[in-house]
A and B are shown apart, each in its own frame.
Chain A
Amino acid sequence: NAGVMQNPRHLVRRRGQEARLRCSPMKGHSHVYWYRQLPEEGLKFMVYLQKENIIDESGMPKERFSAEFPKEGPSILRIQQVVRGDSAAYFCASSPAGVGYNEQFFGPGTRLTVL
């Protein structure tokens, strides 16, 4: 059973370009979470999605960032017009649906570098 998959593992963008980060949850998992780890900082929650729905986006910057989790295919975190401050490791986690099951399983992360 493959774990959470993220691609690309490393992404380099110039200021002003767009970054698209993909996350495929574990098989059978329908909940996806995105976290960001800035250099020398702890992981910070960004957004929580279920299939076709954004449940909690309280940690998402108001501008330039968006996330989706379509009925088919991976979850996408999109950053428009990237700036140097967006350079960070972006982690995706997934969990199954169902009351009481609450462990989150993390992917290897995408390391974004903005030049």
Chain B
Amino acid sequence: KQEVTQIPAALSVPEGENLVLNCSFTDSAIYNLQWFRQDPGKGLTSLLLIQSSQREQTSGRLNASLDKSSGRSTLYIAASQPGDSATYLCAVRRGGGSEKLVFGKGTKLTVNP
């Protein structure tokens, strides 16, 4: 059974700092991995999707890496801003034709001005 763990559960940083969020998964047989952002009381916004054959994806100040063999992914946020404050969720899609995503519980990020 696939399990996804995100560490830390919460993180508070001053504005301008670079930071890394961690995601680990127990079954390396994944099809892809997605990072999402969730604002309080809102839905999920997809940030980056990494296919199992890829090592990283970049979008603006965000960079996500994937090490499938070790069951790890990191989300790197450069030059953090107060507007980055949100909960960041990691989700994996299992291989073998399964469509469902398995989510971690998220990391709640607070960027202080």
A residues lining the B interface (CB < 8 Å): 4, 31, 33, 35, 41-45, 48, 55-56, 58-59, 91, 93, 95, 102-109, 111
**Segment among B12-20, B66-74, B76-84, B92-100 that sits at the interface with chain A:** B92-100
Nearest chain-B residue to A108 (Cβ)? B43
Closest CB-CB distance, B93 to chain A, in whole Å? 7
Contact A56 B89 (CB under 8 A): no
The 9 A-B pairs at the shortest CB distance, nearest first, are namely A45-B100, A106-B44, A108-B43, A42-B105, A43-B103, A42-B103, A106-B43, A48-B99, A109-B43
For residues 12 through 54 of chain B, which have their beta carbon under 8 Å from a beta carbon of chain A? Answer: 31-32, 34, 36, 41-46, 49
Contact B100 A33 (CB under 8 A): yes
Contact of B99 among A31, A107, A109, A111 (CB under 8 A): A31
Q: Could you list 15 A-B pairs, sorted by A, with CB under 8 Å? A: A4-B43, A33-B101, A41-B105, A42-B4, A55-B99, A59-B100, A91-B44, A95-B99, A102-B32, A102-B93, A106-B36, A106-B43, A106-B44, A109-B42, A111-B41
Interface of B is mostly: strand
**Chain B: how many interface residues by the 8 Å CB criterion?**
24
Interface of A is mostly: strand
- List chain B residues, Cβ under 8 A from A108: 42-43
Contact B98 A103 (CB under 8 A): no
Contact A56 B43 (CB under 8 A): no
Contact A43 B99 (CB under 8 A): no
Contact A107 B43 (CB under 8 A): yes
Known: A42-B106, A91-B43, A91-B44. A103 touches B49 (CB 8 A): yes
Q: How far apart are the CA atoms of A44 and B4 in the complex, in Å?
A: 12
Cβ of B86 within 8 Å of any chain A Cβ, yes or no, is no
Closest CB-CB distance, A32 to chain B, in whole Å? 10
- List chain B residues, Cβ under 8 A from A4: 43
Q: How far apart are the CA atoms of A42 and B38 in the complex, in Å?
A: 11
